[in-house]
Amino acid sequence: MPELPEVETVARSLTPYLTSATITSALLLRASSLHPLSLPIESLIGTQIQAIRRRGKLLIMDLASAPVLSPASPSMLIAHLRMTGRFLTAPANMELGRHTRCVFGLQGKDGSVSQLFFDDIRSFGQLLSANDAILEKWSFWRDLGPEPLLMENSALYGRLRGKRPIKTTLLDQKVIAGIGNIYADESLFLAGINPERPADSLSEPESEKLLAAVKKILKSAIENRGSSIRDYRDADGNAGAFQNKFHVYQRGGKSCKNCGRILTKIKISGRSTVYCGSCQK
């Protein structure tokens, strides 16, 4: 599910609920929902959530540890939602859902108690209780590319190496962080670039145009609280609205909103890809 705009929306919607809350309990319901590099889930008990933020598609909760905890205690709780991961805030007495993979007890600064559920239908998502030593070992984290909204074209253009399709390159989290299948297709459409073009065939102005399109699409998607295809909801249970603005994603066989020609649907590195053969060169 969630790409950068959805994770950003989740982080923002969680912020009022979680900031300054202390984790009072942590129960893991499916072992595979905890990252192999993670500290035990119990390591989170007693930590206080300082802030919630996003890096690429990762949701990050910054933690402060109680003074008695060892230096090995976690400084962050990181979640990768993958396809169907989701955070839900719940009253203290709420029962677990069918797809709840982890549940945290929370105590707010005002003493109020509540729960935080990590639900995940497909169970691809993972939680990682991390400290600095663990992050150094985590290659996905180490190699994560720049934030698209902060990126300059010199950085993108410099990374457009090799003959693989530009769409594959946009999906490579080492090149640029946070773009997934929806926003890759939508950005390439807006930039007028064919997704099958070899990455190294883009000129510097084309790279610039692509990065501008990526930024415009991501910002617009964030303003619309993300895209809800099926499962995605923010922490308040709200769907996004950007799916109503798609130009190409999931529109194979329909007509181009720009020129009226039938949109082409193909596979690029295993992912469904839709583009306009007339508008995208």
Partner DNA sequence: AGCGGGACCTGTGGGC
Partner DNA sequence: TGCCCACAGGTCCCGC
Contact predicate 109/21, CB 8 Å: yes
User: Shortest distance, CB of residue 109 to DNA, whole angstroms?
Assistant: 32
User: Shortest distance, CB of residue 128 to DNA, whole angstroms?
Assistant: 12
Considering only residues 195 to 224 of the shown chain, the ones binding DNA according to CB under 7 A are: none
Compute and round to an integer the Cα radius of gyration of the chain. 20
Q: How far apart are CA 191 and CA 106, in angstroms?
A: 45
Q: How far apart are CA 103 and CA 120, in angstroms?
A: 12
Total number of residues shown for the chain? 281
Indicate whether 182 belongs to the interface with DNA (CB under 7 A).
yes
Is 57 known to be catalytic? yes
User: Shortest distance, CB of residue 248 to DNA, whole angstroms?
Assistant: 11
Backbone angles phi, psi at 39, to 5 degrees: -65, 160
DSSP string, 181-236: HHHHHHHHHHHT--TTSBGGG--HHHHHHHHHHHHHHHHHHHHTT---SSS---TT
User: Shortest distance, CB of residue 19 to DNA, whole angstroms?
Assistant: 25
Considering only residues 122 to 181 of the shown chain, the ones binding DNA according to CB under 7 A are: 122-124, 139-140, 161-165, 168, 171, 173, 180-181
Residue of 2, 5, 148, 165 with catalytic role: 2
Is 2 known to be catalytic? yes
Considering only residues 71 to 90 of the shown chain, the ones binding DNA according to CB under 7 A are: 80, 82-83
The residues binding DNA (CB under 7 A) are 1-3, 6, 32, 56-57, 80, 82-83, 98-99, 121-124, 139-140, 161-165, 168, 171, 173, 180-182, 227-232, 267-272
Give the residue numbers marked as catalytic.
2-3, 57, 271
